[in-house]
Amino acid sequence: MVKYSSRTLNRTFAALADPTRRLLLAHLARGERCVTDLARPHAMSLPAVSKHLRVLEKAGLLRRRRYGRVHEMQLDAKPLKQAAKWVEEYRKFWEGSLDRLAVYLEKTNKAVAKKGNK
């Protein structure tokens, strides 16, 4: 068993739950970018993107450095490591999904038989 910080997982998964933020991370994965560059491909205002970046920052998924008026963002994937570990705990369950389906169908049939029909 791995030890997880609940708050960290909350923030990490919540940050990943938004498609704009996942795209921002993907862009960051291709190098540091300033806010304006990161915002350009998104059909939304700059303040909206700024907010998304702050969410990612609070989740520890990016670091910010200021060079004059320009804020340079850098991906920090470390929180994803914990998230990945958490998800991996369930790997055996999706890998065994066919066996599980068989059990499911068997049980269903029993239940149907018990009720007489449908």
Partner DNA sequence: TAGATATTTAACCAGATGGTTAAATATAGT
Partner DNA sequence: ACTATATTTAACCATCTGGTTAAATATCTA
Q: Could you list the residues that contact DNA (CB under 7 A)?
A: 14, 17-18, 20, 34-37, 43-48, 50-55, 64, 67-72
Q: Which stretch binds its own copies (CB under 8 A): 17-25, 35-43, 49-57?
A: 17-25
Helix (H) or strand (E) holding 72: strand 70-75
Q: Which is nearer to its own copies, 48 or 89 (CB)?
A: 89
Backbone angles phi, psi at 80, to 5 degrees: -65, -25
Cα distances from 73 to residues 7, 14, 37, 57, in angstroms, run: 23, 20, 10, 9
Q: Residue 50 CB, nearest distance to its own copies (Å)? A: 21
CA angle 60, 64, 65 (to 5 degrees): 150
Residue 50 interface partner, choices its own copies, DNA, none, CB cut-off 5-8 Å depending on type: DNA
Q: Which stretch binds its own copies (CB under 8 A): 33-41, 45-53, 62-70?
A: 62-70
Q: Hunting for tokens 């065994």 — which residue is that?
A: 96
- Please give the DSSP secondary-structure letter assigned to residue 69: T
Q: Which is nearer to DNA, 102 or 108 (CB)?
A: 108
Site for its own copies in 68-87 (CB under 8 A): 74-78, 80-81, 83-84, 86-87
